[in-house]
Amino acid sequence: MAGLMAGFGCYTHAIVRGIPTSLAKESLRTCQAEVDLSKAQREHDAYVHILRTTLGLEVVVLPAEETLPDCVFVEDAAVVCGDTALITRPGAESRRRETEAMKGALKDLNLNIVEMTDESATLDGGDVLFTGREFFVGLSKRTNQRGAEILADAFKDYAVSTVPVMEKLHLKSLCSMGGPGLIVIGSSEPAQKSLKIMQQMSDHRYDKLTVPDDLAANCIYMNLPDKGQVLLHCTAEEYPESVKVFDKLNDYKLYPVPNSEKVKVDGALTCCSVLIDKKSSN
């Protein structure tokens, strides 16, 4: 794992945000299941506890904002790579103000801030998959070509390829990185099509870990000094067959994280944090 990939998955900080009560009734969603707000809060507390206490990251908690029902899903507001942070322009107009608090937090961490000011551009962080070698950007209902071009301009060291996202909200509703060179992918036809496109567009070879459930393919990989390789993934209560696949990853410390309520409003595990490696910053 020499060179470029040596630091993949190394993080020191995480930015998260509280859950507003408005999440239950007013957040954007593709299905109309009822959200148990107190259960969502307990699940989110468990998520933050794992990041801060179990894994030892410095966690910055931004306050919930009632007028921004989706604000807990901080991933969509920024893309951070190295010491550069791109403040996005979310595809849903109701979410655009979420970037203000995120920008303040990233400034406080002394990152180089790049803002997406072009009003024709849209980009949600949930459509951005960084592999350590390159970026794949999902072209979805929330992210357009101009957004992908601005991301490419912000992170000139890396190739950027676009992937059409047909039936899901975001690219990372279908996949995520499970380690250096390892893409975790759902088994549905849209997921497998997306993977095929990524493989065709890339100069690199990626291994794949296929899980039965698309939503279970969204997990969080870290490589931490005291813990080694870590994977936060869905629970066996939610996706038992997918968890059997994760359980075969013998060299990893596995942390099941409950997410049954936020998933009702299209929130996956990566959605709820922005991860940062301050060691590589100035």
pTM of the predicted structure, to 2 decimals? 0.95
Task: Check residue 2 and give its pLDDT.
Answer: 41
Number of neighbours of residue 249 by Cβ within 10 angstroms: 17
Note the pLDDT tens digit of each residue in 251-272. 999 999 999 989 888 889 999 9
C-alpha span between 197 and 184 (Å, rounded): 15
The pLDDT score that the predictor gives to residue 6 is 64
How confident is the model over 247-252, as a mean pLDDT? 95
Taking only the tens place, the pLDDT of each residue in 3-50 is 446 689 999 999 999 999 999 888 877 667 788 999 999 999 999 999
Q: Is the pLDDT of residue 280 over 60?
A: no
Would you state the pLDDT for residue 282?
42
Any idea where the domains of the chain sit in the sequence? 7-280
Cα–Cα distance, 53 to 62 (Å, whole number): 18
Which of the residues are catalytic?
170, 271
CA distance 219 to 256: 10
pLDDT at 3: 45
Question: What is 7-280's CATH number, 3.75.10.10, 3.40.30.10, 3.40.50.11610, 3.40.50.150?
Answer: 3.75.10.10
Q: Give φ, ψ of 125 to 5 degrees.
A: -60, -25
Residues 6+ apart with CB under 8 A from 134: 158, 159, 160, 161, 202, 204
pLDDT digits (tens, 9 = 90+) for 37-75: 999 999 999 999 999 999 999 999 999 999 999 999 999
